Amino acid sequence: METKTVLVDGDVNNEGSYSQAVDYIREGQVVAFPTETVYGLGADAMNADAVAKIFEAKGRPTDNPLIVHVDSKETALEFVEEVSDKALQCMDAFWPGALTLIMHAKPDTFATNVTAGLSTVGIRVPDHPVALSLLKRLKQPIAAPSANKSGKPSPTLAEHVLFDMNGKIPFILDGGPTKVGIESTVLDTTSSPPVILRPGQVTKEQLEQVIGTVRLSSETQGNTPKSPGMKYAHYAPSAPLYLIEHNSKLIEKAIDHIHGKSKKIAVLSREDFAAADYLFPLSVDKLYDSLRKCDQTDADLILACVLPEGENAALMNRLEKAADHKWFS
């Protein structure tokens, strides 16, 4: 299959591009599109055969449910039931935006592979003009996980999508770099108090200002069923990644030590380390691009320098997973 990428910005004929994307999705094909968080790999959420193509293209385990994208709160409410007041308050406060709400799905609405057979569904309204234009034209919810190969960093550029999906999907809408750079916060509103299953741009503190107490899934282990996706390896570059405290002396020593073994090292940091063979920026919006750039090098090992105090919670969550919780020592 040939994969075509089309630019959708202010200067080109967007109408033609959107109608092609809509046609592909109506035909049961998979289309990649930008959201404000990361690129998504979208299919008609009511079409099980189309949704199966997402799992196949990503190599995603079928017990890991997908997020459903809709154009508005009103559309979302057509597909869920027993919606809590807190979920409604979150919709008003954070949609469109980087917050996915887990709610009870109405039976027999979405294709069963979207929810991996669960009775709940994760829904969000993306805050991106291209995603919203596509949803408005299609007039159907779009099931879309991040558009990366399963286990790899999520795509924040159309070229990342092409790298992972070339030959596997017919069409990519290129809306430029995604603003946020990491995936949405996932909040389970079916439990009381609500539980953050995946941290993201919308923080615990911001949620608590709107709906009161919110738990982190790590605080509820053993009680609440966790997000199925959390048990799988994530965001991992090819070379082993280690976390290290952002302390210049410590990092310089680590680089010397690794060079002493005739190995090459890539460093992800906010600061310049002249001795590193490769240096890439460490920030929420650049994390996945930096991890992917490490894969383009011959580095034997990657060090990510994290601030000892007050590292961004969502960034830390992704880094810990990408490093499989390994610290350099």
Binding site for ligand TXA (CB under 6 A): 35, 37-38, 40, 64-67, 100, 102, 115, 118, 120-122, 126, 144-146, 183-184, 186, 197-198, 227-229
Among 14, 29, 146, 190, indicate the residue that binds Mg ion (CB under 5 A).
Answer: 146
Query: What three-state secondary structure class fits 146?
Result: strand
Tell me how far apart the alpha carbons of residues 71 and 124 are, in angstroms, rounded to a whole number: 8
Least separation in angstroms between residue 154's CB and ligand TXA is 6
As measured in angstroms, the least distance from the Cβ of 91 to ligand TXA is: 15
228 binds, among ligand TXA, Mg ion, none (CB under 5 to 8 A by kind): ligand TXA
Distance, in Å, from the CA atom of 9 to the CA atom of 20, rounded to the nearest integer, reads: 15
State in angstroms the smallest separation of the CB of 232 from ligand TXA.
8
Q: Of 229 and 277, which has the nearer Cβ to ligand TXA?
A: 229
Q: Which does 102 bind (CB under 5 to 8 A by kind): Mg ion, ligand TXA, none?
A: ligand TXA
Name residues whose C-beta falls within 8 Å of residue 216's C-beta, 6 or more positions apart in sequence.
195, 196, 199, 204
State the residue number with the nearest CB to ligand TXA: 229
CB of 146 to Mg ion, least distance (A): 3
Residue 225 CA to residue 244 CA, distance in Å, equals 31
Give which of Mg ion, ligand TXA, none residue 57 binds (C-beta under 5 to 8 Å, depending on kind): none
> Is the peptide bond prior to 225 cis by the omega test (within 30 degrees of 0)?
no
Residue 170 partner contact from Mg ion, ligand TXA, none using kind-dependent CB cut-offs of 5 to 8 Å: none
Helices (H), the chain: 14-26, 48-58, 73-77, 85-94, 129-138, 158-165, 204-211, 248-260, 287-295, 313-322
- The least CB distance from residue 85 to ligand TXA, in Å, is 20
| Closer of 29 and 185 to ligand TXA (Cβ) | 185
Residue with tokens 């994530």: 234
Report which of 234, 15, 25, 20 is spatially closest to residue 143, judged by C-alpha positions.
25
Q: How far is the CB of 103 from Mg ion (least distance, A)?
A: 20
DSSP string, 187-256: EE-SSSS-EEEE--SS-HHHHHHHHS--EEGGGGTTTSPPPGGGGS--S--SS-EEEEES-HHHHHHHHH
From the list 233, 206, 198, 219, the residue with the least C-alpha distance to 67 is 198
The b/e string for 285-324 (b: 16+ C-beta within 10 A; e otherwise) is ebbbbbbbbbbebebebbbbbbeeeeebebbebbbbbbbe
**Structure token pair of residue 285:** 């919006």
User: Among residues 144 and 276, whose Cβ is nearest to ligand TXA?
Assistant: 144
How many residues are there in the chain? 329
How many residues bind Mg ion (CB under 5 A)? The answer is 1
Q: What are phi and psi of 76, to 5 degrees?
A: -55, -40
Question: To the nearest whole angstrom, how small is the minimum distance from the Cβ of residue 38 to ligand TXA?
Answer: 5
The least CB distance from residue 217 to ligand TXA, in Å, is 10
Looking at beta carbons, which residue is closest to Mg ion?
Answer: 146
- Per-residue binder mask for Mg ion (CB under 5 A), 105-144, x = binder: ----------------------------------------
Q: Return the number of the residue (146 or 290) whose C-beta is nearest Mg ion.
A: 146
Q: Which does 191 bind (CB under 5 to 8 A by kind): ligand TXA, Mg ion, none?
A: none
Is residue 150 part of the contact set for Mg ion (CB under 5 A)? Answer: no
- For Mg ion, the binding residues (CB under 5 A) are 146
